[in-house]
């Protein structure tokens, strides 16, 4: 008997059916019968994009299926998957060493060892996002700097263990960075800003919000040497003022509004 699953998988079912299904739909189809399970597993081996953000109830068991079947992922977004462990992530990364984009922001159950397979074996990483990942240590960042070479985007927001020394090494290695976010790292000073100015000439977006120890001198030198800069986020940088921001506003977006001085009107006092 001829059924839907008898149609060509590569020519019809995958490009015209499965690509229009959500990840949840694929798992539901996988449960229908043995043949549909084989079809979905075969499809998982071809997908290049995995984004679990829309799936709040995604389970470790389902993630284990992805880890064992997917081997061609380029884009991986696991943001706020608080149930994720080092072992689960490492299993997936071992099978997908050509990842270009990875977002682990808010994955609080991980440690600095979770990225080891990608750092050591991967060669295509261009975007790394680890916002609010306090497990991102100096040693982990140094390992990334040593093994990787193609990074163009990094979000290290609230990675409190980092500081000037590790960030200097980082920006020297990745001189093709276009987007860099180091906000809320309270130990960052002008040393990091000077290193950014000296190395990141292609930088387009820089976020240093909440870096209290950065001053006008650091902002001024970045503005002078990073001529491709399109946006600069400095909100809650308490030592940065209009002395450095004023001349940059005509060239780029700055998140802090210009404070206009309202002249005091003279009062006509009548005796």
Instruction: Decide if 265 is inside a domain.
Output: no
Q: Same domain for 24 and 62? A: no
| CA pair distance 38, 53, nearest whole angstrom | 26
Q: How many residues does the chain have?
A: 271
Instruction: Decide if 210 is inside a domain.
Output: yes
Q: Same domain for 149 and 106? A: no
Q: Same domain for 26 and 120? A: no
Q: Is the pTM of this model over 0.95?
A: no
Q: Which of 70, 96, 125 is the last residue of a domain?
A: 125
Q: Same domain for 173 and 244? A: yes
> What DSSP line would sit under 65-124, residue for residue?
HHHHH----SEEE-TT-TT--HHHHHHHHHT-TT--EEE-TT-TT--GGGGHHHHHH---
Q: Same domain for 21 and 74? A: no
Instruction: Decide if 270 is inside a domain.
Output: no
Q: Which residue carries 């079912």 as its tokens? A: 13
Residues 6+ apart with CB under 8 A from 132: 105, 106, 108, 157, 158
As beta bridge partners, residue 243 has none
Q: Same domain for 67 and 27? A: no
Q: Same domain for 80 and 152? A: no
Q: What is the total count of domains within the chain?
A: 3
Q: Same domain for 22 and 65? A: no
Instruction: Decide if 267 is inside a domain.
Output: no
Q: Which residue carries 């990091």 as its tokens? A: 192
215 secondary structure, DSSP code = B
Q: What is the pLDDT along the chain (271 residues), one digit of tens a residue?
A: 557 777 888 989 899 999 999 999 999 999 999 999 999 999 999 999 999 999 988 999 999 999 999 999 999 999 999 999 999 999 999 999 999 999 999 999 999 999 999 999 998 999 999 999 999 999 999 999 999 999 999 999 999 999 999 999 999 999 999 999 999 999 999 999 999 999 999 999 999 999 999 999 999 999 999 999 999 999 999 999 999 999 999 999 999 988 644 444 444 545 3
Instruction: Decide if 138 is inside a domain.
Output: no
Instruction: Decide if 93 is inside a domain.
Output: yes
Instruction: Decide if 235 is inside a domain.
Output: yes
Instruction: Decide if 262 is inside a domain.
Output: no
> What DSSP line would sit under 124-189, residue for residue?
---EEE-TT-TT--HHHHHHHHHH-----EEE-TT-TT--HHHHHHHHHH-TT-SEEE-TT-TT--
Containing domain of residue 71, as a range?
Answer: 48-125
């Amino acid at each position: 008997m001829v059924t839907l699953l008898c149609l060509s998988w590569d020519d019809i079912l995958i490009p015209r059916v499965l690509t229009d299904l959500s990840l949840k739909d694929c798992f539901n189809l996988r449960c229908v019968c043995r043949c549909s399970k084989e079809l979905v597993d075969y499809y998982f081996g071809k997908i290049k994009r995995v984004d679990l953000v829309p799936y709040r109830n995604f389970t470790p068991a389902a993630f284990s299926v992805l880890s064992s079947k997917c081997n061609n992922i380029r884009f991986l977004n696991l943001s706020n998957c608080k149930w994720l462990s080092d072992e689960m992530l490492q299993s997936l990364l071992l099978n997908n060493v050509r990842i270009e984009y990875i977002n682990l922001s808010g994955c609080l159950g991980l440690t600095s060892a979770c990225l080891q397979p990608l750092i050591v074996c991967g060669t295509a990483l261009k975007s790394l996002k680890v916002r609010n990942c306090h497990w991102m240590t100096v040693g982990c960042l140094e390992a990334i700097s040593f093994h990787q070479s193609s990074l163009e985007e990094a979000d290290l927001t609230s990675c409190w263990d980092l500081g000037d020394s590790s960030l200097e090494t980082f920006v020297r290695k990745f001189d093709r960075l276009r987007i860099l976010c180091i906000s809320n790292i309270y130990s960052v000073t002008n040393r990091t800003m000077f290193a950014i100015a000296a190395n990141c000439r292609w930088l387009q977006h820089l976020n240093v919000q909440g870096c209290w120890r950065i001053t006008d001198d650091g902002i001024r030198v970045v503005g002078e040497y990073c001529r491709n800069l399109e946006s600069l986020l400095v909100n809650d940088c308490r030592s940065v003022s209009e002395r450095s921001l004023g001349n940059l506003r005509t060239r780029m977006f700055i998140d802090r509004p210009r404070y206009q001085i309202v002249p005091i009107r003279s009062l006509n006092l009548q005796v």
